[in-house]
């Protein structure tokens, strides 16, 4: 049993133990909180009560709490303590960005006070973008690790920047705010821009309103942008610098166009060069100088006249206020070359020039700067057959020609080359009289004949019917080829119409004149069946004459038909020299013999009737003899 003195001694010892202090660390400042049990759990009256009535205190003393180390605290004290904690310490949530203050910077880390029970640590690598970081700066942080192995609070500035950056980027996009960004580097199609710590894409077309030729010049620069697109799924951001100035430019364009007048001369800068023209910046608004308005002379590409960034004066030709399009001219600032053309120049004069353009129908010759004349292909040669201008001249050739027409009002000129040489048709009758024989070159075909060139400018036509006496030709290509040499005879000559009719078969006599005698109707010839056709057969008497035998005329004496390869005697029953048609028959050979026997028998019978009366039996006998003969019995 414990005595009263011992209990009193122990109680005094406990009370001495309960007077110790407790310290609590905050991220902003060190808050020192004394132990509630030692400092506030007992007031002065309570201490006096313990001393005046120790027996009652001992009876009510909670030995269990003492043994377990639990200090009795009043509810009021607990509420006051919780209030102090709420006011001085942050709730360190993992997904919440808080603002902390840099209280110390070491060689490797920054010590950050976020009003927590202890300071946090952030590696200086996360502040490489901010080399000017110093003590006292406010920074945004995120709880990365509540306690590492050493019990240290680990913070992340980089993660906090990313979270805050996405919030700011979305706000900038939704509210069309202007943001600042740092162009880090080039990439395919544009640039990479750091916006609030996020890598955004700046397309090349969105850097400026004018085309950018040197992307590298923008690397390392800070510029203002508008966030034009956000892909939340892939965390992609697209920014534009062009969008910031387009609205101002449109207003500026309208203002400038409103002051424009046709014929007005302005100074501009060559902004872009294309194959069809040049775009000129007139100070906020662009105009187009078409390639045909760059120079009075013909050019192949605008870069022959102008170059990029060149300053030049242009004249306004036309503009469209509704579409903000301006048509400009450069050549209109100088005198038209036709106006400077000599007044002494007239039709019939010879001029020299350079071939600048070749087309299928002719060539354009520049006889003076900006003054061109057309030589039609028909005026390049006296030849009448179709040819191309490329057969006579090439681009860049220096040629001499004669002026055929000259229209100063319409600024048109036609030229001719062939007029510089004599027209071959002037003495055509003496060189190519009718009936004369010549050699020519086959130039081209038509369905109805062949064009043959006797000399440059002298062409003649051979109709398909005048190519051969004997061959049936459906197309000239069956008989000759382009480029072949042919002997011809002049059949007709039309000097006024400049037409020459030729013949080739007339070089030789017509063999059908002889064939008409040799193969006349009634003549007989022996030949072999060459081919069996639908309505009969054909036989070749020679290389020129092929005769047709109708089906029924193939019948032999015994009633059978001639077959291919069989040789027999044939009689010509039709001969047409004009259409080269010959028809023969084998049947008429034996039918003719039969008719001849009948006629002879009838004649003999008639003679006998005169000499003596012929009996019916005699006639029958004669007929029987004829029959036997035909059947081959006798």
For residue 542, how many C-alpha atoms fall within 13 Å in the half-sphere facing its CB? Answer: 11
433 and 491 inside one domain: yes
6 pLDDT band, cuts 50/70/90, is very low
Residue 22 counted as domain residue: no
Is the pLDDT at 7 greater than 50? The verdict is no
In whole numbers, what is the pLDDT of the chain averaged over residues?
78
322 and 376 inside one domain: no
Is the pLDDT at 54 greater than 60? The verdict is yes
The residue ranking higher by pLDDT, 164 or 72, is 164
Question: How many independent structural domains does the chain possess?
Answer: 6
The pLDDT value given to residue 12: 39
- What's the CA angle centered on 390, arms 385 and 395, to 5 degrees? 150
DSSP assignment string, 354-407: EEEEEETTEEEEEEETTEEEEEEGGGT-S--S---GGGT--TT-EEEEEEEEEE
Domain boundary among 503, 529, 546: 503
Domain boundary among 363, 395, 420: 420
Domain ranges, residue 353 = 349-420
Q: What is the arithmetic mean of pLDDT over 69-82?
A: 62
pLDDT digits (tens, 9 = 90+) for 535-567: 899 998 887 788 899 988 888 888 888 888 888
432 pLDDT band, cuts 50/70/90, is confident
275 and 242 inside one domain: no
Residue 475 counted as domain residue: yes
The pLDDT value given to residue 332: 85
Query: How far from chain centre, in Å, is Cα 291?
Result: 22
201 pLDDT band, cuts 50/70/90, is very high
526 and 541 inside one domain: yes
A 10 A CB-CB count for 293 gives 19
The residue ranking higher by pLDDT, 509 or 60, is 509
Beta-strand runs (E) in 370-523: 371-376, 398-407, 412-416, 437-446, 449-455, 458-463, 485-494, 499-503
303 and 266 inside one domain: yes
Whether this prediction's pTM lies above 0.75 is answered by no
Spatial distance between the Cα atoms of 622 and 614, rounded to a whole number of angstroms: 11
Residue 369 counted as domain residue: yes
230 and 296 inside one domain: no
Residue 169 counted as domain residue: no
DSSP label at residue 304 = G
The pLDDT value given to residue 414: 92
132 and 111 inside one domain: yes
Is the pLDDT at 4 greater than 80? The verdict is no
pLDDT digits (tens, 9 = 90+) for 141-160: 888 766 666 667 778 888 88
- Looking at residue 302, which CATH number applies to its domain? 2.40.50.140
Work out the burial of residue 377: count CB atoms within 10 Å of its CB; fewer than 13 is exposed, 13-18 middle, 19 or more buried. Answer: buried
Residue 336 counted as domain residue: no
Residue 537 counted as domain residue: yes
- Strand 178-187 to strand 120-123: parallel, antiparallel, or no bridges (unpaired)? unpaired
Give the closest residue to 237 by CA, choosing from 227, 222, 251. 227
Most confident by average pLDDT, 11-25, 336-350, 509-523: 336-350
Is the pLDDT at 618 greater than 70? The verdict is no
Residue 534 counted as domain residue: yes
pLDDT digits (tens, 9 = 90+) for 560-601: 888 888 888 888 888 887 777 889 988 888 777 666 655 665
Matching residue, tokens 């059949």? 491
The pLDDT value given to residue 27: 37
487 and 517 inside one domain: no
Is the pLDDT at 19 greater than 50? The verdict is no
Helix segments in 136-241, DSSP class H: 157-174
Contacts within 8 Å (CB) and 24+ apart, 145-148: 146/92, 146/94
The residue ranking higher by pLDDT, 412 or 30, is 412
The pLDDT value given to residue 277: 92
Is the pLDDT at 210 greater than 80? The verdict is no
Give the closest residue to 33 by CA, choosing from 85, 99, 91. 85
520 and 580 inside one domain: yes
The residue ranking higher by pLDDT, 48 or 377, is 377
Is the pLDDT at 329 greater than 80? The verdict is yes
Domain boundary among 135, 162, 189: 162
* From 203-212, 257-266, 439-448, 597-606, the region with the lowest mean pLDDT: 597-606
23 pLDDT band, cuts 50/70/90, is very low
582 and 531 inside one domain: yes
The residue ranking higher by pLDDT, 9 or 57, is 57
With pLDDT > 90 as the criterion, what percentage of the chain qualifies?
7
Residue 442 counted as domain residue: yes
Spatial distance between the Cα atoms of 152 and 126, rounded to a whole number of angstroms: 18
pLDDT digits (tens, 9 = 90+) for 270-325: 988 999 999 998 877 788 999 988 888 888 899 888 998 899 999 988 887 665 67
Is the pLDDT at 216 greater than 80? The verdict is yes
380 and 440 inside one domain: no
């Amino acid at each position: 049993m414990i005595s009263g003195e011992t209990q009193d001694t122990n109680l005094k010892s406990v009370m001495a133990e309960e007077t110790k202090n407790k310290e609590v660390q905050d991220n902003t400042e060190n808050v020192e909180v004394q132990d509630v049990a030692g400092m506030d759990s007992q007031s002065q009256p309570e201490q006096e009560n313990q001393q005046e009535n120790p027996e009652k205190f001992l009876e009510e003393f909670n030995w269990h709490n003492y043994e377990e180390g639990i200090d009795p605290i009043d509810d009021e004290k607990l509420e006051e303590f919780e209030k102090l904690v709420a006011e001085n310490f942050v709730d360190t949530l993992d997904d919440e960005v808080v603002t902390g203050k840099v209280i110390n910077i070491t060689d490797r880390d920054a010590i950050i006070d976020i009003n927590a029970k202890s300071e946090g640590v952030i590696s200086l690598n996360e502040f490489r973008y901010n080399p000017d970081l110093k003590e006292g700066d406010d920074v945004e942080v995120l709880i990365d690790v509540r306690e590492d192995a050493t019990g240290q609070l680990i913070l992340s500035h980089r993660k906090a920047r990313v979270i805050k950056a996405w919030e700011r980027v979305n706000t900038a996009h939704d509210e069309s705010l202007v943001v600042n960004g740092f162009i880090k580097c080039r990439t395919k199609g544009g640039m990479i821009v750091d916006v609030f710590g996020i890598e955004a894409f700046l397309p090349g077309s969105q850097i400026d309103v004018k085309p950018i030729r040197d992307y590298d010049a923008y690397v390392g620069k800070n510029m203002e942008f508008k966030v034009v697109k956000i892909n939340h799924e892939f965390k992609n951001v697209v920014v534009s610098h062009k969008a910031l100035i387009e609205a101002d430019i449109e207003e500026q364009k309208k203002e400038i166009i409103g002051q424009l007048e046709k014929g007005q001369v302005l100074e501009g800068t060559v902004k872009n060069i294309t194959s069809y023209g040049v775009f000129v910046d007139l100070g906020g608004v662009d105009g187009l100088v078409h390639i045909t308005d760059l120079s009075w002379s013909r050019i192949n590409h605008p870069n022959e006249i102008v170059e990029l960034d060149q300053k030049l004066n242009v004249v306004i030709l036309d503009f469209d206020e509704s579409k903000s399009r301006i048509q400009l001219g450069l050549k209109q600032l100088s005198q038209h070359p036709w106006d400077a053309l000599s007044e002494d120049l007239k039709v019939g004069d010879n001029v020299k020039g350079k071939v600048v353009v070749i087309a299928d129908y002719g060539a354009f010759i520049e006889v003076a700067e900006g003054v061109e004349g057309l030589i039609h292909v028909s005026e390049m040669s006296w030849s009448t057959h179709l040819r191309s201008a490329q057969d006579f001249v090439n681009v860049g050739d220096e040629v001499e020609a004669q002026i055929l027409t000259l229209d100063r009002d319409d600024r048109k000129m036609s030229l001719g080359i062939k007029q510089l040489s004599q027209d071959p048709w002037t003495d055509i009758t003496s060189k190519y009289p009718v009936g004369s024989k010549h050699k020519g070159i086959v130039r081209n075909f038509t369905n109805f004949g062949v064009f043959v060139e006797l000399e440059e400018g002298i062409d003649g036509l051979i109709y398909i019917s005048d190519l051969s006496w004997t061959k049936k030709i459906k197309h000239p290509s069956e008989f000759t080829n382009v480029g072949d040499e042919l002997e011809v005879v002049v059949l007709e000559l039309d000097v006024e119409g400049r037409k020459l009719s030729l013949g080739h078969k007339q070089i030789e006599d017509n063999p059908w004149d002889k064939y008409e005698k040799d193969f006349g109707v009634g003549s007989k010839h022996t030949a072999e069946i060459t081919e069996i056709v639908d309505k009969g057969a054909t036989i070749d008497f020679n290389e020129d004459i092929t005769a047709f035998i109708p089906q029924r005329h193939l019948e032999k004496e015994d009633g059978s038909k001639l077959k291919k390869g069989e040789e027999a005697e044939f009689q010509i029953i039709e001969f047409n020299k004009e259409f080269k048609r010959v028809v023969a028959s084998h049947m008429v050979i034996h039918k003719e013999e039969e008719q001849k026997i009948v006629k002879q028998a009838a004649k003999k019978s008639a003679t006998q009737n005169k000499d003596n009366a012929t009996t019916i039996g005699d006639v029958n006998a004669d007929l029987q003899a004829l029959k036997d003969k035909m059947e081959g019995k006798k």
